[in-house]
Amino acid sequence: MPVELVGEHGRDVQPREKEMTKSGSDTVVTRRKAIKTIADGGVVAGAASLAAPAIAQDVTEWKMVTSWPKNLPGPGVAAQMLADRITALSGGRIEVKLYSAGELVPGRGVFDAVSEGTAELYHSVPAYWGSKSKGILLFGSQPFGLRADEQVGWLTHGGGQALYEEMYGRFNLQPFLCGNSGPQWAGWFRNEINSVDDLRGLRFRTAGLASEMAAKLGMAVQAMGGRDMFQALQSGTIDAGEFIGPWTDSALGYYQICKHYYWPGVGEPSSAEECAINADVYAALPDDLKQAVAYACESLYNPVWTDYTTNHAKALVQLVSEHEVQVHKLPDDVMIAMGNAAGEVIADLREDSDELVQRIVESFLTYRASISEYMTYADNGQMNARALDYNYG
């Protein structure tokens, strides 16, 4: 997933109006008590339902800093959805104002800004915070790791959320997952990739643990934002790179320079988006508003994920039909080499000197092993069956 995006994207991207639908994921089930408490406390889900006395109550203004240009398809849209939903589910008692990357702090500065109290909350991705702790990176994405549904499953049902909170608590932050891009793509290349040798020495933009996997394959990894990636490709500073997927990548125009688009993005089988709130600010909230904020985050996970997936599918058709992009699958031997490199990355994490990082890794590996075995019969079986040659409609 992307690193820093500074400033507004050059295109005029209009905000998307979203219906405030409740997610059907298991995460929602875990918040049924929260919904009841919110209802009992008088918090309503839409501004149109607010009674005049509620509007007259004290209003707390929160600054949300983000790592994205405003309304960038994908993460920029999701950030605005979150700001709006917190405001709505708090009954207007919390008003969230969104600041895009560079407006208040740089995109890579949001973690520290919220930790130190410059802003109340941020919208970003865990993949950016490896310099704080390598353990943080596992909460966002893992090479050959968890899919979007499995990622939230680990946190909700596999003990991951407690570890997530323990790690971020070191930095005075209360974290929540609030969306996911789904499977990312392997990247944009000027030339075709036919073997592992074609990767060696390649100047390549990526982020998070995927960057460590790439480095072990001899790639020269570059860290930069999505818009900066376009400029670097254009100038020849980098040879190739990956950002998110067809929807967001189309908006950033990578197809104008590179025509070879590779899948699957094994470096990031999914990439979770997060909201982190200053821990002191969160602790000072009354219980009903704590639950409103938590539910705002959790209830957006599925809508954001499916928004990405739906629009990725549409954008890919346009990339091929209108922009002559050539879609390629990574060769199996290249993916095997990547898998071995990813295994080395995880082995390194297991030897981390930080005991908390070790516990995070073991929790992740335990959940991955369990869910991977089951998915052989469940989702993998369904997808393989759907790909067979038969008449349908």
Q: Is the pLDDT of residue 118 over 80?
A: yes
Distance of CA 79 to the CA centre of its chain: 11
Helices (H), 144-196: 148-157, 160-169
The pLDDT assigned to 24 comes to 38
The tens digit of pLDDT for each residue in 54-63 reads 344 689 999 9
Average pLDDT over residues 7-28: 36
Structure pTM?
A: 0.85
Distance (Å) of CA 69 to CA 4, 9, 66, 137, 377: 10, 5, 8, 22, 41
The pLDDT assigned to 393 comes to 86
The pLDDT assigned to 56 comes to 41
What is the C-alpha to C-alpha distance for residues 94 and 71, in angstroms, rounded to an integer? 21
Domains of the chain: 26-183+271-310 (3.40.190.170), 187-268+322-386 (3.40.190.10)
The pLDDT assigned to 17 comes to 35
Beta sheet of 121-124, edge-to-edge order: 94-99, 60-66, 121-124, 272-278, 173-180
Pairwise pLDDT comparison (36 vs 173), residue with the higher score: 173
What is the C-alpha to C-alpha distance for residues 340 and 335, in angstroms, rounded to an integer? 9
Average pLDDT over residues 46-56: 36
> Of 104, 259, 280, 75, nearest to 179 (Cα)?
75
The tens digit of pLDDT for each residue in 203-261 reads 999 999 999 999 999 999 999 989 999 999 999 999 999 999 999 999 999 999 999 99
Report the interhelical angle of 287-299 vs 301-323 (nearest 10°). 30
Residue that is written with structure tokens 């050539």 in the block: 326
pLDDT band with cut points at 50, 70 and 90 for residue 369: very high
Q: Which residues contact 251 (CB under 8 A, 6 or more apart)?
A: 9, 11, 13, 72, 73, 74
Q: Is the pLDDT of residue 196 over 50?
A: yes
The pLDDT assigned to 57 comes to 61
Residue that is written with structure tokens 């390629």 in the block: 328
333 close to 195: Cβ distance less than 8 angstroms: yes
> Of 315, 359, 373, nearest to 167 (Cα)?
359
Least confident of 19-23, 73-77, 140-144, 363-367: 19-23
The pLDDT assigned to 58 comes to 87
